[in-house]
Structure 1
Amino acid sequence: MTLLHWTLPLPAGYRRDDVIAFHSRDTQAVAEQVTQKGLRKGILLQGMPVVLDVALTDDTAICRAEIDGETAQHMPALLHGALLNILGLRIDPQPFMQQVAHDPLMAPLTRINPGLRIVQSASPFEALTWAIIGQQINLSFAIALRRTFILQAGRQHSSGLWCYPEARDVARLSIDDLTSRKFSRAKAETLLRLARLVDDGQLSLELAESDGVKLISQALLAVKGIGPWTVNYALLRGYGYADCSLHGDVAIRAALQQLLGEGAKPDMARTEQWLRQYAPHRTMAAAHLWASLHAPEKNMPQEGE
């Protein structure tokens, strides 16, 4: 085993409890474990099982990577990127808070949840597969399917924690492997289609330096079974893109209905138009709208009805 150690400074007002809550949704803790000091998360990187062990203090993340193998080229940079994701450090919430400081509707929401952040999946592939798995089913069932997916396609770290699979691992599965474990055929086909395209090199999930978000969005929309909501959710949870428009999300529309005090949810077109005023910080607008619902999430966010 190879061990790597490093630290990350945490911004003032960092909301540790939000990060812990996000990574403790699966009570069986097959791939993420909450500890007294922070969390442990299993991932596969360049084919090697890795556990990220993170202790969170008031102002610092003390990080250790436990790698089942030798450190490969680019591994430290990949580990650092995954850490930024799982700790919600990609998007600075302050620019949005400044933008809406005098907004009569959004300013009160930011005062209720100052410093709210978007916690992400460790990688774009994890975010995409999670979006596909959880689409249009309740959250508890989605978490159970995700657990099954990890146990089928992932690999176990020497510590016993399971590691979320990479595309090459998922590509080895068959449709029957998934449908026999309560995946719908449509979900199974989309998951395998995505994994095989990525594994074959036909689809890159790397952001290009120029027009990266536009290009990756177009490439993903060309994959059968992936629609605009899945793309936007992946941009948010996988890439930390600051200007996602989640107008197709039922929960966003419900929160906007509540915020506006109206009797019915606004449709997608009106929601999209309303969110435009918060560009280029629409991701944080969505985060505060989600948070404004207050109740625990009963269903995965869904595309428009």
Structure 2
Amino acid sequence: MPAVTLTPAGPFSLASGIRFLEGFGPASYHHAADGILRLAFPADDGVSVVAAAVRQEVRADGGTGTVRAEFTVHPGTPYPATAVTAEAAAKQAVRAQLARILSLDVDATGFPGLATDPVVAGLAADHPGLRPVCFHSPYEAATWAIIGNRIRMTQAAAIKARIAHQHGHRVHIAGQTLHAFPTPAALRTLTHVPGLTDIKIQRLHALAEAALDGTLDAPHLRALPADHALAELRTLPGIGPFSAELILIRGAGHPDVFPRHEPRVHKAVATAYGLGAPTTDDDVTQLAKIADRWKPYRSWVAFLLRARAQDTSPPGPVCHGSPPSS
């Protein structure tokens, strides 16, 4: 089985990422207690599906261990003996997507320097080595935004998991069977999904087309100024300001965007800094100024605040919280 190696720059804990996924509804992640992160997802090429078993080296000195991922690509075609270039290209593509999913494509050596802010220091102490665990792609983040709009997170997660089981590619990896979410080509063929309205299905079809034509390409979105990327995403059917931020931050893995349309983050920031509940645009602007202290990791600190809120939330279903989409 081919494998790729990722060397974290700065603190990173795969175990912390797995713990986060276990409590993150959209992931529907069920972890075996063996330290292996098992993933199955549509590849960035929009056609194939990747299955990966990710492990992190445990170092005796307590340092940040290297990450190794064994993977298969489906539908699989055995590499001919002379196809060195094709195999190398596949490894490069899988390595890039896995690095983005785990936020290992960002140099985090400067992140500990933010600990001069006592709030960030507390977050880092509570969640050592935790980096944002992103959606597998902007495409999957966008589909989640549509599926989850105006319904409870538990209901949305169940619908997404059912779509994967019924229409996605089934893979076997590290002793488990997983179902990847359908590729864009497969998604655009669906005409009826229990629990989804006709308009949501139409919007999912539009997102599938956008993924295939490159509109939802992660490197493209990351290369744009954040405001331009968000404006471009808002032109997609059903994608409003909240969803656009979700796609850019948690889909494309942008490390330095403060979410101006995420009320739960705003509440978490206000609580952490001893401020009153934010209720106006001016309040959000004040929070954004506080977030400027976190550059160039504003998305990361917001993620850690959400992770803390997730840890302290009472059990039970949680509303998805997306405002009405335009």
TM-score when normalising by structure 1: 0.81
The structure-2 alpha-carbon separation of the partners of 1:304 and 1:48, relative to structure 1 and needing over 3 Å to count, comes to closer
The partner residue of 2:151 within 130, 137, 140 is 137
The partner residue of 2:185 within 163, 168, 171 is 168
Q: What SS does the aligned partner of 2:115 have?
A: coil
Matches of 2:226 and 2:260 in 1, distance apart?
Answer: 17
2:95 is matched with 80
User: For 1:251-270, what aligned pairs fall within 5 Å after superposition?
Assistant: 251-270=264-283
TM-score when normalising by structure 2: 0.76
Aligned AA (1:120): C
Alpha-carbon contact 1:37-1:55 (below 8 Å) kept: yes
Q: Is 1:205 matched with 2:224?
A: no
Q: What SS does the aligned partner of 1:6 have?
A: strand
Alpha-carbon contact 1:105-1:259 (below 8 Å) kept: yes
Cα displacement (A) at 1:255: 1.0
User: For 1:74-153, what aligned pairs fall within 5 Å after superposition?
Assistant: 74-98=89-113, 100-153=114-167
Alpha-carbon contact 2:259-2:265 (below 8 Å) kept: yes
Alpha-carbon contact 1:31-1:164 (below 8 Å) kept: no
Q: What SS does the aligned partner of 2:156 have?
A: helix
Matches of 1:203 and 1:106 in 2, distance apart?
Answer: 34
Q: What SS does the aligned partner of 1:42 have?
A: strand
The structure-2 alpha-carbon separation of the partners of 1:22 and 1:149, relative to structure 1 and needing over 3 Å to count, comes to farther
Alpha-carbon contact 2:278-2:284 (below 8 Å) kept: no
The partner residue of 2:302 within 271, 275, 286 is 286
In the alignment, structure 1 segments of 5+ residues that lack a partner are none
The structure-2 alpha-carbon separation of the partners of 1:145 and 1:92, relative to structure 1 and needing over 3 Å to count, comes to farther
1:225 is matched with 238
For residues 80-105 of structure 1, what are the alpha-carbon distances to aligned partners after superposition, in whole Å with 9 as ceiling and x for unaligned? 0222133332344443442x333354
The structure-2 alpha-carbon separation of the partners of 1:95 and 1:302, relative to structure 1 and needing over 3 Å to count, comes to farther
2:263 is matched with 250
The structure-2 alpha-carbon separation of the partners of 1:274 and 1:304, relative to structure 1 and needing over 3 Å to count, comes to farther
Which consecutive aligned stretches of 4+ in structure 1 deviate over 6 angstroms post-superposition? 29-32
2:321 is matched with 302
User: Across the two proteins, how many residue pairs are aligned to each other?
Assistant: 296
2:41 is matched with 43
The partner residue of 1:62 within 44, 64, 68 is 68
Identity %: 24
CA RMSD of aligned residues (A): 3.2
Cα displacement (A) at 1:182: 0.9
User: For 1:158-197, what aligned pairs fall within 5 Å after superposition?
Assistant: 160-174=177-191, 177-178=192-193, 181-197=194-210
Q: Which moved more, 1:49-58 or 1:117-126?
A: 49-58
Q: Which moved more, 1:143-152 or 1:295-304?
A: 295-304
Matches of 2:218 and 2:117 in 1, distance apart?
Answer: 36
For residues 212-271 of structure 1, what are the alpha-carbon distances to aligned partners after superposition, in whole Å with 9 as ceiling and x for unaligned? 645443321111210111111111212221122212112112212322434533434422
Alpha-carbon contact 2:56-2:68 (below 8 Å) kept: yes
